[in-house]
Amino acid sequence: GSYCGNHLLEVPEQCDCGPPETCTHKKCCNPKDCTLINEAQCGTGPCCDKRTCMIAERGRLCRKSRDQCDFPEFCNGESESCAPDTKAADLEPCNNETAYCFGGVCRDPDRQC
């Protein structure tokens, strides 16, 4: 079943901004029953504008790159969720081809030990 307050949008919730004390989208989502407030379009994800309660425009950064082997993700303009986290393939060269990507992190073979 669904659990209101876990930041996961589950049926039949309209939104889930977390528990009332730390609700991330206070203008958009009622944290007590996980319903949208007034004309809000969304109230859960990183691609929901907290001020307007509308789905963010396509191309807005929603997850920063953490490493040369980890790519930034952007909103698609249709969903309040961020695109899935994408990383470079393992053994992809990085750091001017002196190192390799592994698990989304650039690892220098000389400094592995």
pLDDT tens column, 6-60: 999 999 999 999 999 999 999 999 999 999 999 999 999 999 999 999 999 999 9
pLDDT of residue 14: 98
18 near 44, Cβ under 8 Å?
no
The pLDDT assigned to 112 comes to: 58
Phi, psi of 22 (to 5 degrees): -125, 20
Residue 110 has pLDDT above 80, yes or no: no
Residues 46 and 37 sit within 8 Å (Cβ to Cβ): no
Q: d(Cα 95, Cα 103) in Å, to the nearest integer?
A: 15
What is the sign of the dihedral through the CA atoms of 81, 22, 41 and 11? positive
What CA–CA distance (Å, rounded) separates 72 from 75? 10
pTM (2 decimals)? 0.82
Per-residue pLDDT at 106 exceeds 90: yes
> What is the per-residue pLDDT across 47-100, written as a single tens digit (0 to 9) for each?
999 999 999 999 999 999 999 999 999 999 999 999 999 999 999 999 999 999
Q: How wide is the angle at C-alpha 5 spanned by C-alphas 78 and 77, nearest 5°? A: 10
